[in-house]
Amino acid sequence: MRIGEITRLTGVSKDTVRFYERQGLLDEAPQPGLTNNYKEYSAQALRRIELIGHAKALGFTLKEIADVIAVWQENALDAQTKRVMLETKIAQIDDKARSMAVLRAGLVDALAKVETGCDDVAPVHIYKDKYQDNQ
């Protein structure tokens, strides 16, 4: 499939697809025709772009995503080494999920205190005053 179809199916721009390719997140798409510059992207490229988008939406950096892709593609690594590296990344994801749960609980608590008028929330009046001064 050509880049236009990839962008239509994934919702990313052509520039993003090209950027991912330059960064090594996608295999370089072949150009089967000698008379044009059209590249043919595979179904794997489509799945990879979807994976990248999903991981980015969850807060992962392109570097972190590239690390996982590299482990998966590295033919020089045996299955056990790949397993250990992927398990390490899963443990990091689990740690991040726990940290996000703690942050979420704190925000929910702060929201409840705002709703009840409790004064031990962060110094909101400072921000309120600054906001009103800028109006």
- Predicted pLDDT of residue 135: 47
DSSP structure class, residue 58: T
Predicted confidence (pLDDT) at residue 82 exceeds the cutoff of 60: yes
Q: Is the pTM of this model over 0.75?
A: no
CB 58 within 8 A of CB 51: no
pLDDT in tens, 23-74: 989 988 777 765 677 888 889 999 999 989 988 887 788 998 888 888 777 7
Say how many C-beta atoms besides its own lie within 10 A of residue 125's C-beta.
10
**DSSP-assigned states of every residue in 29-55:** PP---SSS------HHHHHHHHHHHHH
| Among 91, 25, 92, 23, residue whose Cα is nearest residue 52 | 25
Q: What is the mean pLDDT of residues 83-105?
A: 89
Predicted confidence (pLDDT) at residue 75 exceeds the cutoff of 50: yes
For residue 33, give the amino acid letter. Answer: G
Tokens 């972190």 — which residue?
Answer: 64
3-state SS class at 11: coil
CB 71 within 8 A of CB 82: yes
| Among 44, 55, 54, 46, residue whose Cα is nearest residue 10 | 46
Predicted confidence (pLDDT) at residue 10 exceeds the cutoff of 90: yes
Out of 15-24, 69-78, 107-116, which region has the weakest mean confidence (pLDDT)? 69-78
Q: What is the mean pLDDT of residues 5-14?
A: 94
